[in-house]
């Protein structure tokens, strides 16, 4: 009977790479069973079959089926196809893995070496492979390069990473308990009040994140601007003009500002003092996932979840190391020289890589953060098998340039602070010069120096005052969060993980709690949910409780606590919270129901009625025909019969704008994500007539 080693990978692409790397000839046989692929390789006298998951094949669910109530504290792990209708493909997938497990003599977990990957491999070995999690061995690697995969297989860990698995199981089970109970409490309360079903959700990470957004929005709305004045002067030094600021940047009274400005209405000043300093800027530290997401948003405006997906693609194609890391360390074992020599094969990086190779001993500038499973993100140096698209090129280039920069020398800069005396009033300007470019030459275009060229200066030198400007200003409210700043806030407060924070932010958009990207604005529904959490279960909205749970799960991993203890404590808190929510279900429902109705009305409203001038134009679906159209709300009062046809396919969105030609509302029609189009509601719009 055919015997072999069965390796479980996390995704089919990873399975293919693992099989190819382990095969003696670098060639594998791809086989299919019921459209489920697996790969056969020959390694010495061993036959290897590499099968894969499709991410999580098992999930947490309640033990009672069909019951939609709360509180729920009894749960079990089940195949996803039983729990989720959209996961029917997984049923066949698990059958094929179970069949392959029957004749296997050795089992190896080769899923990603992190919490999620460890749970994926563990659950497949336990449930689909009939309890082989106890005897299976573990591959640990940080890149999918041929060399590292071969080394990983040659040095298998003797057993699974059970401490990491226990911590991961606790995290999933606690998140499920919080999510299912709190989400059902909110959803059922709203449904009982409004008689409309709208999925509402919250959880131990989502709640505090929503609170940050609510607090910031409240601070913005109650902010009262305070006037202040500042004075600037344009000063000519040897026929070169420079902008100087008055020493006191914010003058609190107009009288004081006017008096100072008046005394500066002279044509001549003199240089009072020149302060020259040299300083160094150390190289940046290597990327962890959060820093990569932050930098990608800064330069490309990619959301955290977009960056994660792109980085995962680059990893699976063996172009970068494992991205879901919190490390800022690059150990010598990754082979700095080897990576740089590989990068020399690319015309884009050849010159920069060669400069580092001749530099001598390579030592990266590292940060303080450590991840026991993986190093910081770095390029493998391997060339792409196929062309990358624009976003993939951007993220790859950013990672390569960052890797090169961490080995660069410090930048040497000079600052020149010049103070000018204008009738006994001091004005200041600071200019910078780069004396030694150092690591900056490796990180272009993601860093640049704004050097100021100054003429010859000396104290007492006469200068010409071209003009002095008094400006009225007002203090500004705090900035709204954007994906970058919110991610940093979550990381600073230690809520969520490097792998889950981006998903939490995305969920806030999905639930309609949040809108806008560069300026995140909490919606009225988001305010309603945040208010309910604050009034009835403040601990759920508190980052303190979430941080404590995170610490406890870390203690599980370090064998300082047990999964059962942590779960017992979490359930104790949840019992109190759900009891309070049940007692106040009616009041909560009224609050949320009103917000949901308003949200739905806002989403259906496209503008004001041009005909009656008092009604709103809303999207209506005919009960008789099922077709949608736009009508005036005054139709229901029998005072206006304005109506407009709509395309029956695609999504309709209000643009909150009017046609520049006829003044009617304009909507966006999305039949295809690639080709949205704007439509003026007026069928007699002159623009349409011209097109005809």
At 637, the pLDDT band (50, 70, 90 cuts) reads confident
Q: Which residue has the higher pLDDT, 583 or 600?
A: 583
Contact 396, 312 (CB under 8 A): no
The two tokens of residue 337 are 């020289």
pLDDT per position as a tens digit, 100-114: 999 999 999 999 999
The residues, ordered by sequence, that sit 6+ positions from 320 with a Cβ below 8 Å of its Cβ are 143, 311, 314, 377, 378, 379, 380, 396, 399
For range 474-493, the mean pLDDT: 93
d(CA 202, CA 539): 13
**pLDDT > 90 fraction of the chain, expressed in percent and rounded:** 71
Encoding tokens for residue 120? 């994926």
Domain limit, last residue, from 405, 435, 458: 405
Residue 670 phi/psi, 5-degree rounding, is -115, 90
Which residues does 605 contact at the CB level (< 8 Å), separation at least 6? 616, 617, 618, 654
User: Do 322 and 261 have their domain in common?
Assistant: no
Same domain, 467 and 397: no
C-alpha torsion sign, points 17, 23, 26, 31: negative
Helix axis angle for 350-357 and 336-343, nearest 10°, is 150
CA 619 to chain centre: 33
Query: What tens digit of pLDDT does each residue of 114-136 get?
Result: 999 999 999 999 999 999 999 99
Query: 370, 386, 405 — which closes off a domain?
Result: 405
User: Which of the four pLDDT bands, split at 50, 70 and 90, describes residue 522?
Assistant: very high
- pLDDT (0 to 100) of residue 689: 63
Within 13 A of 599's CA, how many CA atoms are on the CB side? 24
Number of domains in the chain: 5
The domain boundary residue, chosen from 371, 405, 439: 405
Residues in contact with 61: Cβ distance below 8 Å, sequence separation at least 6, in sequence order: 75, 76, 77, 78, 82, 83, 176
588 pLDDT higher than 80: yes
Strand partners, 653: 668
Q: Is position 599 within any domain?
A: no
Which of 50, 43, 8, 6 minimizes the C-alpha distance to 24?
Answer: 43
Residues 490 and 561 placed together within one structural domain of the fold: yes
What does the pLDDT average to over 237-260? Answer: 93
Annotation marks residue 675 as catalytic: no
Task: Determine the Cα–Cα distance for residues 682 and 278; give it in Å rounded to an integer.
Answer: 66
385: tokens are 């098998």
**pLDDT tens sequence across 638-686:** 889 888 888 888 888 887 788 888 888 888 888 766 677 888 888 888 8
Q: Is the pLDDT of residue 488 over 70?
A: yes
- Same domain? 216 vs 232: no
Same domain for 12 and 154: yes
- Same domain? 263 vs 391: no
From the list 414, 408, 403, 413, the residue with the least C-alpha distance to 440 is 408
Same domain, 442 and 329: no
User: For 142-200, how does the pLDDT look when each residue is reduced to its tens digit (9 = 90+)?
Assistant: 999 999 999 999 999 999 999 999 999 999 999 999 999 999 999 999 888 766 778 88
The one catalytic residue in 178, 297, 315, 322 is 322
Residue 692 has pLDDT above 60, yes or no: no
394 sits in which H/E element: helix 390-405
Nearest to 203, CA basis, from 646, 551, 505: 505
**Rounded (5°) CA angle 371-374-378:** 115
Q: Does residue 393 sit within a domain?
A: yes
How far apart (Å, rounded) are the C-alpha atoms in residues 170 and 192?
Answer: 33
Question: Residue 546 sits in a domain of what CATH number?
Answer: 1.10.460.10
Q: What is the extent of the structural domain holding 110?
A: 4-160
pLDDT at 396 over 80: yes
pLDDT value for 672: 67
Running DSSP on this structure, what letter comes out for residue 38?
Answer: E
What does the mean pLDDT of the chain come to?
91
Say whether both 37 and 23 belong to one domain: yes
Report the pLDDT averaged over residues 235-261. Answer: 93
Q: What is the CATH number of the domain that holds 82?
A: 3.40.50.140
Question: pLDDT band at 449, cuts 50/70/90?
Answer: confident
What average pLDDT does range 192-210 have in this prediction? 85
- SS3 state at 94: helix
Three-class DSSP category at 225: coil
Which domain CATH number covers 299?
A: 1.10.290.10
Per-residue model confidence as pLDDT tens digits over 32-54? 999 999 999 999 989 999 999 99
Cα angle 199-201-203, degrees, rounded to a multiple of 5:
165
Least Cα distance to 508 among 490, 535, 534 occurs for 490
Q: Which residues contact 200 (CB under 8 A, 6 or more apart)?
A: 183, 186, 187, 190, 511, 529, 592
Q: For residue 329, what pLDDT is reported?
A: 96
Q: Is residue 600 part of a domain?
A: no
Asked if the model's pLDDT at residue 542 lies above 90, the reply is no
- Residue 673 has a pLDDT of 62
In this predicted structure, the answer to whether residue 257 has a pLDDT above a threshold of 80 is yes
Integer Cα distance of 228 and 77 in angstroms: 61
Neighbours of 574 (CB within 10 A): 24
């Amino acid at each position: 009977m055919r015997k072999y080693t069965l390796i479980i990978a996390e995704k089919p692409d990873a399975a293919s790479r693992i099989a190819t790397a382990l095969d003696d000839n670098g060639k594998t046989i791809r086989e299919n069973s019921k459209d489920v692929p697996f790969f056969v390789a020959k390694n010495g006298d061993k036959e290897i079959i590499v099968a894969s998951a499709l991410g999580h094949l098992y999930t947490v669910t309640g033990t009672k089926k069909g019951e939609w109530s709360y509180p729920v504290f009894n749960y079990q792990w089940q195949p996803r196809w039983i729990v989720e209708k959209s996961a029917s493909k997984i049923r066949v997938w698990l059958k094929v893995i179970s069949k392959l497990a029957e004749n296997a003599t050795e089992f190896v977990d080769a899923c990603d070496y992190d919490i999620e990957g460890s749970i994926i491999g563990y659950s497949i070995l336990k449930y689909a492979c009939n309890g082989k999690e106890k005897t299976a061995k573990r591959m640990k690697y940080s890149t999918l390069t041929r060399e590292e995969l071969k080394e990983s297989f040659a040095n298998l860990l003797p057993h699974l990473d059970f401490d990491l698995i226990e911590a991961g199981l606790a995290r999933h089970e606690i998140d499920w308990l919080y999510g299912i109970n709190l989400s059902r409490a909110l959803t059922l309360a709203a449904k009982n009040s409004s008689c409309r079903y709208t999925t509402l959700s919250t959880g131990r990470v989502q709640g505090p994140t929503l609170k940050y957004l609510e607090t910031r929005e409240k601070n913005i709305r109650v902010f009262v601007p305070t006037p202040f004045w500042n004075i600037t002067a344009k000063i000519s030094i040897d026929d070169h003009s420079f902008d100087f600021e008055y020493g006191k940047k914010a003058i609190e009274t107009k009288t004081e500002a006017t008096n100072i400005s008046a005394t500066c209405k002279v044509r001549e000043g003199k240089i009072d003092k020149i302060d020259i300093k040299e300083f160094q800027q150390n190289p940046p530290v290597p990327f962890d996932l959060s820093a990569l997401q932050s930098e990608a948003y800064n330069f490309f405006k990619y959301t955290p979840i977009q960056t994660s997906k792109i980085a995962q693609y680059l990893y699976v194609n063996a172009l970068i190391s494992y991205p879901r890391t919190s490390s800022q360390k690059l150990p010598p074992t990754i082979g700095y020289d080897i990576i740089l020599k590989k990068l020399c094969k690319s015309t884009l990086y050849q010159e920069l890589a060669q400069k580092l190779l001749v530099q001598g001993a390579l030592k990266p500038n590292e940060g303080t953060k450590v991840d026991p499973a993986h190093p910081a993100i770095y390029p493998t140096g391997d060339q792409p098998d196929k062309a990358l698209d624009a976003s993939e090129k951007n993220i790859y280039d950013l990672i390569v340039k960052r890797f090169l920069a961490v080995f660069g020398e410090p930048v040497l800069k000079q600052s020149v602070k010049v103070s000018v005396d204008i009738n006994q009033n001091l004005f200041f300007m600071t200019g910078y010069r780069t004396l030694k470019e150092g690591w900056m030459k490796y990180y272009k275009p993601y860093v640049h120096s704004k050097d100021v060229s100054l003429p010859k200066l000396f104290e007492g030198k006469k200068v010409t005052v071209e003009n002095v400007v008094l400006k009225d200003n007002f203090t500004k409210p705090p900035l709204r969060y954007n994906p970058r700043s919110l991610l940093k806030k979550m990381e600073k407060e230690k809520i969520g993980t490097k792998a889950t924070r981006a998903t939490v932010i995305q969920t806030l958009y999905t639930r309609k709690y949040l809108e806008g990207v560069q300026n995140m604005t909490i919606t009225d529904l988001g305010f309603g949910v945040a208010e309910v959490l604050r009034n009835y279960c403040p601990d759920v909205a508190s980052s303190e409780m979430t941080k404590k749970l995170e610490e406890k799960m870390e203690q599980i991993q370090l064998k300082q606590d047990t999964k059962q203890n942590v779960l017992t404590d979490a359930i104790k808190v949840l019992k109190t919270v759900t009891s309070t929510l049940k007692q106040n279900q009616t009041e909560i429902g009224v609050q949320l129901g009103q917000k949901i109705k308003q949200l739905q009305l806002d989403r259906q409203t496209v503008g004001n009625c041009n005909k009656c001038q008092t009604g709103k134009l809303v999207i209506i679906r005919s009960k008789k025909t099922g077709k949608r159209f736009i009508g005036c709300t005054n139709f229901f009062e029998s005072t206006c019969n304005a109506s407009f046809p709509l395309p029956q396919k695609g999504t309709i969105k209000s643009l909150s704008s009017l046609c520049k030609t006829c003044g009617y509302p304009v909507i966006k029609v999305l039949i295809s994500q690639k080709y949205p189009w704007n439509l003026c509601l007026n069928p007699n719009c002159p623009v349409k007539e011209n097109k005809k």
